[in-house]
């Protein structure tokens, strides 16, 4: 009887050891198949330079349309410094000369600044959105005459496209980077938004900007921070 019990205990011990070894082997195999985790190689984004405290007089932008009508805007570096620096940089490069307002919506806004002319183009880079919902305090309201940056659903996707408000729209406040306002020529904006359009809100008759110029009032604006 004792020998039978001893043999039984020995058999149970062997089975338990076998189960334990199988379990450890499976665990080892599962661990070896895990994808190695690497530390993120993404570097923190470079912070935009805030030069605005050194600006003594706000820059003035003049958009001259093909029919010689003009829109004059005063930009606000203290509100959105990198957005203003980007706009000025593009203007000084002659980027906007010859481009059109490709999208106009009565009661809302006129939009331009796209080299492709259909809303899909840009300068080949993007800037971070300087607006409140994106973690940047910008209290400028989207009121009639305000200029703001167009973007995709990505808050940090603005490039060269901009829009000028023809009417107040509070739903845009804190969601888009407003950065200046029309001081002269709202009648030109109103004429543009009133043009006949196709189903995509594109004017049937081109609304072309002949030249876009900026008077920086002697201040040397830095290059924008881009990505």
Per-residue model confidence (pLDDT) at position 49: 82
Q: Are strands 178-184 and 146-149 parallel, antiparallel or unpaired?
A: antiparallel
Per-residue model confidence (pLDDT) at position 8: 47
64: CB partners within 8 A, 6+ apart: 70, 209, 210, 211, 212, 213
CB 55 within 8 Å of CB 78: yes
Per-residue model confidence (pLDDT) at position 46: 65
pLDDT digits (tens, 9 = 90+) for 27-73: 333 333 333 333 333 344 567 889 999 999 999 999 999 999 999 99
CB 125 within 8 Å of CB 159: yes
Residue 21 reports pLDDT greater than 70: no
How much is the pTM?
0.80
- Secondary-structure percent of the chain, ordered helix, strand, coil, rounded to 5: 25, 20, 50
């Amino acid at each position: 009887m004792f020998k039978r019990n001893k043999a039984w205990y020995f058999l149970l011990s062997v089975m338990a050891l076998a189960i334990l070894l199988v379990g450890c082997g499976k665990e080892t195999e599962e661990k070896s198949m895990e994808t190695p985790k690497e530390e993120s190689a993404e570097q923190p984004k470079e912070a935009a330079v805030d030069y605005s405290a050194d600006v003594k007089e706000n820059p003035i932008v003049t958009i001259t349309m093909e029919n010689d009508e003009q829109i004059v805007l005063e930009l606000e570096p203290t509100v959105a410094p990198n957005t203003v620096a980007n706009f000025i940089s593009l203007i000084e490069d002659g980027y906007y000369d010859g481009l059109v307002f490709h999208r106009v919506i009565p009661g809302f806004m006129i939009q331009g600044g796209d080299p492709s002319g259909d809303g899909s183009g840009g300068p080949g880079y993007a800037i971070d959105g300087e607006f409140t919902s994106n973690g940047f305090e910008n209290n400028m309201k989207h009121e009639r005459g305000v200029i703001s940056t167009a973007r995709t659903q990505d808050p940090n996707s603005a490039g060269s496209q901009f829009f000028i408000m023809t009417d107040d729209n509070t739903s845009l406040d804190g969601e888009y980077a407003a950065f200046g306002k029309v001081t002269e020529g709202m009648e030109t904006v109103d004429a543009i938004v009133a043009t006949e359009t196709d189903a995509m809100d594109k004017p049937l008759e081109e609304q072309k900007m002949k030249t876009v110029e900026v008077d920086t009032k002697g201040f040397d604006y830095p290059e924008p921070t881009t990505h």
